[in-house]
Amino acid sequence: MQVTVEAGEGLARRMTVELPADDVEQQVDQRLRDVARQARLPGFRPGKVPMRVLRQRFAESVRGEVLGEMVQSSFSQAVAEQELRPAGRPEIEPDIDADGRRYAYTASFEVLPEIELHDLGGMRIVRPVAEVADADVDRMIERLREQRKTFADVDRGAQEGDRLTISFVGSIDGEPFEGGSAERRPLVLGKGEFIPGFEQQLEGAGAGEERVVEVTFPEDYPAERLAGRAAQFQVTVEAVAEPRLPEVDADFMAAFGIGDGDMEHFRADVRSNMERELRQRIEAKVKNAVMDALIEANPVELPAVLVAEEIQALKGQTRQAVGAGSMELPDELFADSAQRRVKLGLVVAEVVKRHDLTPAPERVRALVEEMAATYERPEEVIEYYYADPRRLSSVEALAMEEMVVERMLESADVVEEESTFDALTESESDA
């Protein structure tokens, strides 16, 4: 086997492989002999078809099969011999002349970049420092009450926080427009779910009251036919209901797994969950900072094929998330995210290779147990992960990322910065 490699632009490579003609023809002959034992053709007894007839009928297809298998095996051998690391599947161009006994092909592909790994020496990484205070626990309990609030009809004018049930018909220049009408639509005043200015004009309205609401659609409204246009809505308030927060009693606590109704037990459980969340948010913030620093410290030329594959993966995830399997999405929408993910993947892989990182089973187990702790039956979650190597591999990948972060922090300038539970959790939620 003869191999020649030409370097193209950037990471592109063009490799020509010439296969030994004797090897190809020997395998074709052997495959034809195998066919001869079973061949059934009109005018010949089974297994007695002459070789020349078999060659006429089957030589071309058999040669195609043999060449396909030899291309696959020889490509792997050739890139290993040439110390190449393909970034994706090659494009194969056959160069076959059976009469001239030439069996060759050209493989075009991109290679993975060579990374001269730099650590984070001299780079500043901020590690937030925060604790869960009693006041944080108080606010969290209020949020839990908010999550379980109910609404009760009232006979008064609507005010902020009330839930209205409304029916309306919208029109522009006196003509109703598509999507501008609804029956018995819930609306919580103050949440800002409707067009700016809509909710404010319903303050003080009581059940059974009709109002005319005049608004202007924002210039950046998703429906271009409505963007920037003035509209009028005939609104009927069907009902007004005020929020009612539950008492923090035994029933309330039982809903969160505290069966004895003890307030101290409840607060301790809330605090424990908050401390776990705070720790995860701090770790995530430090991890993102380390990954950003790794990218900055290690410029990498990206194989276009890997970026293209990542764009398609992100598209698929987006379609699945919004439940639109056939939605057309432009590549440009995902280009930046795809490039970052590919770059991180290449640099992190180099860190793992250079430092020979492998997560210990105990570390993986601890991660699984931490994830399971947020569920009602943690032992079932643990069993779920360990029942399937593919599921467990996702946790192993997280453990590996933790090890990468720890190793990179050894060379970085880590600065602690005081923060609070709300500041960290709210900023993460906004992101």
Burial of 202 (0-12, 13-18, 19+ CB in 10 A): buried
Q: What is the pLDDT of residue 275?
A: 95
Residues 108/93, Cβ–Cβ less than 8 Å? yes
Biggest alpha carbon–alpha carbon distance for the chain: 100
**How many residues does the structure list for the chain?**
431
Tell me the CA distances in angstroms from 19 to 15, 77, 82, 110, 372, one per residue in order: 13, 12, 16, 22, 55
What architecture (CATH level 2) is domain 2-110? 2-Layer Sandwich (3.30)
CB atoms within 10 A of CB 110: 21
DSSP annotation of 118 reads -
Q: State the distance between the two ends of the chain, measured CA to CA, in whole angstroms.
A: 55
pTM (predicted TM-score) = 0.76
Q: What is the pLDDT of residues 113-151, one digit of tens each?
A: 999 999 999 999 999 999 999 999 999 999 999 999 999
Q: What is the pLDDT of residue 429?
A: 45
Listed as ranges, residues in the chain with pLDDT below 70 are: 35-54, 56-58, 324-326, 427-431
Q: What is the pLDDT of residue 93?
A: 93
Residues 6 or more apart whose CB falls under 8 angstroms from that of 181 comprise: 168, 169, 170
- Distance CA(370)–CA(366), nearest Å, equals 6
Q: Under CATH, what is the fold of the domain 124-135+258-430?
A: Trigger factor, domain 2 (1.10.3120)
Residues 6 or more apart whose CB falls under 8 angstroms from that of 374 comprise: 273, 276
| Domain range list for the chain | 2-110, 124-135+258-430, 150-244
Structure tokens at 12: 């592109």
Domain 150-244 falls under CATH 3.40.50.20: no
Q: What is the pLDDT of residue 431?
A: 41
- Distance CA(252)–CA(258), nearest Å, equals 9
